[in-house]
Amino acid sequence: MSAVRVKFGEVVSNLNETVRHGEEHSLTRVVGLEHIEPQDPNLRRWDELSDLPDGTSFSRVFRRGQVLFGKRRAYQRKVAVAPFDGICSGDILVFSPTNKKLHPDFLLFIVQSEGFFSHALQTSSGSLSPRTRWQDLATFEFELPSIEEQQRIVELLSGVDAHAEALRNQLHVANETRKSVLHHLLTAGGDDWTETTLGNVIQLSYGKALKAEDRDGDGFPVFGSAGEVGQHSEPNVPFVPVVIVGRKGTAGAVWWSDIPCSVIDTAYFLVLKAEGNPKYFYHLLESLDLPTLTAQTGVPGLNRDRVHSCEFLCPPLIEQQRIVDEVSKIDAVIQETTSALAATRQLRSALLNKEIS
């Protein structure tokens, strides 16, 4: 049987079941827009009603297996399948198939399609917080395949999703392993390790002002407290590699550059005062909870004197290199897994837009 062109509202219902006191209906989990991650169909976070001292004003009910769609700021692409029954924000629409012409699992992929999101954006109104409406979403037209074809597409895309989820879990394990291994390596100690302060071996030097309009956009990266913020043809740090530490704004964030770069005045760059491995000190700084050393003024700022006064056990140069090598092995796994996950997501997007139009 060939596909038929239908309107979204002909095969999908927008459910408006509401309750006042969720706990009286065994609905104890609360979902807001902040709990739905962009482009992630898995709902990973929520609030327990018992943890909310003032309860919740949310009253819209959703059931396990139904599709949750964020109607506010639809460009964020917040869509998830409910893994349990609960209560959600009024800015979340709850979708379910109207009849057996639509496979329940196929609904998610329709809502995640490029065509549906484009329609949602075109029908959104409001300047600061644009919202779309069910009445407008219901008019979205698409090709609905036969139920057998829907099943095939569901199996195809679900297989890709399962692979992506496995990679995501692998990446989580690798990152947690990195934290544990890094902590162990940096604190292992030894007879030839020296107790000292950071200020005895490094200095955090101020970056230099380089306004956005003065950057020519060519050549070398420009770093601020939040990482790379542009490019400029003339680097202002006279050596490589460069360790960058956020001073204002994203205070305490640590960045690395293998190539010449500029560091602007919202960040510091690290200068070695004694023989040492720059990558080791990058790892040491990222292991410290530097944001706790910020001065809480109007704009949080990292006090470099407090950083310089931090005590630590400094290993000899050969041990610094060994630590760097061990962490690099884990970083390689993280990079490989991150790349594989990105490629899998790109494949999913391509298949989704090929199969659903």
H/E stretch holding 220 reads strand 220-224
Sign of CA dihedral 153, 154, 159, 162: positive
Task: Using the predicted structure, report yes or no on whether residue 62 has a pLDDT greater than 70.
Answer: yes
Q: Which pLDDT value is given to residue 330?
A: 97
Task: Using the predicted structure, report yes or no on whether residue 16 has a pLDDT greater than 60.
Answer: yes
CA-closest candidate to residue 311, choices 211, 186, 218:
186
CA-closest candidate to residue 270, choices 300, 294, 299, 304:
304
Q: Where are the alpha helices (DSSP H) in 188-300?
A: 198-201, 278-287
285-297: b or e for each residue (b if 16 or more CB lie within 10 Å)?
A: bbbbebeebbeee
- Summarised one tens digit per residue, pLDDT across range 271-299 is 999 899 999 999 999 999 898 888 665 66
- Summarised one tens digit per residue, pLDDT across range 204-220 is 999 999 999 999 998 99
Sign of CA dihedral 167, 169, 174, 179: positive
State both tokens at 141. 């037209």
Task: Using the predicted structure, report yes or no on whether residue 165 has a pLDDT greater than 70.
Answer: yes
- Whether omega before 241 lies within 30 degrees of 0, making that bond cis, reads yes
CATH number belonging to the domain at 4-144, selected among 3.40.50.10090, 3.40.640.10, 3.90.220.20, 3.40.50.1000: 3.90.220.20
Angle, helix 147-187 to helix 278-287, in steps of 10 degrees: 110
Alpha-carbon distance of 282 to 114, in angstroms, equals 41
Query: What is the CB-side half-sphere exposure of residue 74 using CA atoms within 13 A?
Result: 25
Alpha-carbon distance of 56 to 68, in angstroms, equals 18
Query: What is the CB-side half-sphere exposure of residue 126 using CA atoms within 13 A?
Result: 13
Domain 194-314: CATH architecture, name and number where available: Alpha-Beta Complex (3.90)
Domain coordinates in residue numbering, the chain: 4-144, 147-172+316-357, 194-314
Phi, psi for 81 (deg, rounded to 5):
-95, 130
What is the value of pTM for the model shown?
Answer: 0.85
State both tokens at 127. 């300047």
Quote the percentage of the chain above a pLDDT of 70: 98
Q: For residue 8, which amino acid is it?
A: F
Vertex 253 angle, CA 251 and 255, to 5°: 135
